[in-house]
Structure 1
Amino acid sequence: MINKSISIITYSRKHMKHVIAQLESFLGSEFKITGHSIQEGIKGPVSDTLVLIGHEYLKDEAMKYITQDSDVLVARRSLNHSELENILQIPKGEKVLFVDVNKYLAENSVSLLEDLGINHIEMYPYYPDIEYSHRADYAITTGETHLVPDYISKVIDIGYSKIDLTTITEIMLKFDVMDERAKKLSSKYIQDFVYSSKKVVRTLKENNLIMKQLNTILDVINDGIIGIDGNCNIIFSNENAKKLFDSNHDDNIDLNIISDLDILKICGNNFEKYRKIHEINGKKILLTMMPIKQDDSDSGIVMTFKDLSEIVEMENMVRSNLLKKGHIAKHRFSDIVGNSEVMKKAINIAKRLAKSDSTLLLTGESGTGKELFAQAIHNESKKSNGPFVAVNFAALPENLLESELFGYEEGSFTGAKKGGHTGLFEQAHKGTIFLDEIGDASLKIQARLLRVLQEKEVLRIGATKIIPIDIRIIAATNKNLDELVERGEFREDLYYRLKVLPIEIPPLRERKEDIPYLIERIMNRFPNGRDMKLSSELERALMDYDWPGNIRELENVLEYMYNIAEDNIIDIKKLPSYIDNISIKKDAKYSEIGYNIEKIESKIPLKDAYTILSALKREKEEGNIHISRKRLADLLNKTHLTEQMIRKRLDILAELNLVVKNRGPKGTRITYQGERFVDKIKENRIKANI
């Protein structure tokens, strides 16, 4: 009678206990099973009727302890199939680590899974001391969860591998107990098979349900959809496609009736995406074709057919919804009035920069039309079909501004809306967000804005999920951000992130030649405003005013006078009372030359003012709008004016709005008011020793 005694040699004690438990479940208590762990150390020789070595990789080490008179069997292993369902749920293409105690086990387990048909993921063996460069979100392990890298959060533990059916059969044959235990053995493995099969059946049922759902979805989609194989045979179509081709069955659909398309030339050829307008049965159709990829080769094509009339209708609906939300840019560059040189220059720069997706910063005084520029830039940009979302930092308190900009999750704070709130950055996805009055943003908001600019992603208040966004950012301010940075009121890193593409919009006092055109445009907005005229006296007064509120103030003044006008001629008496220095009548000392001579003479000799301004005017007429003080001194080197005298007089002329001084190489330029001063002196031949 054979002595029913087995010795087992494994690497670890934990694995040894697992193998003993598996053998006892098949062989029963009449077998004596002794375990040995190489990790803990084996004392003395191992001698038995049968010695079972736990893995092939342990054979050389184990044989050192086994006596020659013992029969030896190396166990073959199989993975725990009950957990395969979880592995199948891993998204296709994911990088996955298979974690085990050594290289052999890790690589062997990967091979076993691949033999089972697990090939939708990229598996990499991982074991202690490996130099590993791949980052992965998933890990699979056979009970060795303590070896999984800390950064991996999704771990599938399939448990220790089992001794496979062939090894168990060999053991039973060795001890001549196959007959009495065959039923139990087959029953056990059949149970496992049935359990796995049930999962497969359930999955198939789910797949059948999914297929029915997909067919329903295909039929309710407004587009026609057709699938063809590599030989141009139709493999599926939806109801809308059949209607488009006047067919009731796939076999009757004739793709050759598509105008200007040879479908046979496309089938079987590699291409990325096809999108063109064709005609089918008298209808204009947008045809889109995408290749079906399988093993990096094209195995068919999915075709979608969209009626162009529906596209127009959908665009109108989208624009209507955007209008309701205010997320649309109404103005274009053609809406900007600007015939002056400085305005033409600003518009030309804006048009060029509109083509870029980089962040843009608009600077200029209040009322100069920064949002008008922002809308025009959006409509000229690559994101013109997306939303235009405007937010004013000066109009909202900080706590409300943060939730409006970034959004929030449900329950993130008291009063939060059920379902949460989509922030303005998310609403601007695929479009432009206009950050008006950015200089009024708090330092806390600035910190969050910096992350959006750097990473192009937002985190809602109370959320943990980061949301990527594709937006173009245009910021605007009427404040001096350089000074705010120096005072620590504006983050320097945010300032340079915003100032990638700067555009300065000139104030109205620097482009007074645009005023008559602005007056005409504004008056035309009012009912019958086109028929109303301004008196010449009023026009001169409006030209001479400095307009500290810029175009917005001009609009308000014209609207006020329009509403109180008694006939079609608006005279200077209709000016609002708060403007006390615009009217020639209101200043008895106002000269016919268009400026207060006494005021000029009290600060600077009239001859010096005329000499400097005449030189600046001549340079402007020759195309040199800005000139440096050194250049001006060279032009006036035959006069009594030194460079130091010129510097002081330019400061005074700037105070009187006759010139505009700029820092650096930009230099000085004459204003419209300065030009009128020179012209009027010539016209009236004023005797001032000139």
Structure 2
Amino acid sequence: MKKIAIISPGKVTSINLAMQLEKIFGEYAEIESYCLEDDLEFDMANTLVVLSSPQTIDKRVQSLIDKGMNYVLACRVINHRYISELLSLPKATEVLLINDRAESTYQAITQLQALGVNYIKYYPYYPGIAAYPGLDIGVTVGEPHLVPYEVKKVIDIGTRQIDITTVADIAKRLGLMDALGDGLSSQYIHEIIGLLNRINDSAKDMKIISSRLETVANCLTKAIIYIDKDGNIITGNQEIYNILECSWEDVIGKNIKDILPELDESDHHDKIDVIMIKGKELFVTSKVVKGSGSEDGIIYTFEKSEDIEKNEHELRRRTTKSTRSNFYTFDDIIYESSSMGRLMEKVKGFADTDSTILIQGESGTGKELIAQAIHCASKRGGGPFVPVNFASMPMSLLESELFGYEEGSFTGAKKGGRRGLFEEAHGGTIFLDEIGDASLEFQCKLLRVIQERQVRRVGGLKEIPIDVRLIAATNRNLAEEIKKGNFRADLYYRLNVLPVRTLSLRERKTDILVLSNYFLKRYSAGKYNSIYEVLENDAVQVLIDYDWPGNIRQLENAIEYIISTAKNGKKIDKTKLPEYITDDLPRPGESVLKEVLGNNMIWILDKMKNSDGIGRRYLANLAKEEGLPLTEGQIRSLLNSAELLGLVEVSTGRKGTMLTEKGNSILSSIGVNG
């Protein structure tokens, strides 16, 4: 029987190579394995010697060669059957390639790259190497006992095998080509095709995954850069190239310090920062990548400040629970009077701006209705409208309701905390009704929010930016409240950017019938369309003459009362009107006194009620606002007549004219209560 001896520098290698030859030639030859430490005891005359590498030829082997030993110097290649685990490693993974000698180590690296496993970064390691990087993954060529202790993961791809050309040479030397030739070539081709298929499939999968990841990254609105541990840029997405105004060729492979000196890449910790790049403010998040199979480094994500604000606005908008979905518009405000027409023109102009509005006026004059109409007509009409009534909300709860609170900030605080009404109104309008009832302490906190456009929740440390329009309203005279020390002057001037004074019903007498018909139709469910269908003419006149201290709200209540008492076919006279109206009907002699004084004189006396002094010019301006045809000269003449009658006292200087006790008494007697 033919004999084959395999000689290798190491025992493990010689045994593994003998096993390979046994599979191929075992049926036809006897296989023996030797290493250089063994005694080379074989029949040289009848044995074909296979030397595993040139390093096997020491003095003893060279002596045998000189004596005519029949030998083959083997060519060896990577055992491709064991590289599947290598194929699963991510691109650019860094590994130690471990073997017993420098020459075989570098040869293994070259052969792996030739096989197509060239997307891995190999670092050589062998006994006696001067320096090597400390890496987590080690790839050894059948020498696991040589792996450094610090390596965490070992991939053993087995001893390099004798290649097909050497096997064919051995078969030829032994005269076995006829028996083994076809089988050798087909087996080799089959194995190579299998390897190529695995490599190809792996490459395809990696290309598909890479393409998908690239698509995902380029669809993000955030910009991304990935650098290695030395600061060199590995990759990025299209958004970062857009921000830097360059192409990927200008960035990939460059050091981050040269491309983005604004970044502090020396601090290898996860962190958040804000930087300026080409005049744009960017919110930067850094994430350290380490020990995950990918290349160690840092991933930076960049987001534009305006995008963050936009997303935050959209999030707040979608999560805001609006108490109602429909609001009053300017079309819902009913009037015919010219004074209301002028007011509406003014207010519609205010709706086009984003400035703060202060609405002052008596109760029941529709302050919130006007606020809603302004909101709907503004650019914030699609956002929330959040009303806050200071008169109805306890001051102890006001701060937590308006500004929100953090979890555990006080007993009974909701788990997870709660957003305040200012946050609920983000992107829309907040309506601060009855602002004159706010305490001085809370006015100070409100002033800070208005100035800084930020809120801090109760128990919280973070300032939360808000984008809201403020509309405030009150039935109090805030200028007088400032004098009394009940309202802060600085808050008043912050609120009173665009002032609006609502008109009382007695200042728009021509609207009484229009509004009465509107409420009549609503409360009768369309049964009646005109107030004259249910009231006698004298009762209608009483409604027109009545002062309506509760304004439109009181008129609405009166019409509801009238509908409740109306009977089919029978009209109501003035005595059947609500008591608060009939109690105010003129007593005997009142009509005569009214005729003597005249409407203009009564109007002037009425304006002087509860006043410490009022001037002619101020009265003339009031008359103009209310649409009364009174000039300053006519007012002077009326005041002179009132002084002669003892109804007013005219003072020189800035004090103006005041109502006397007699004037007050006359007003009371004709139904104008002082």
Q: With the length of structure 2 as denominator, give the TM-score of the two structures.
A: 0.47
Bigger CA radius of gyration: 2
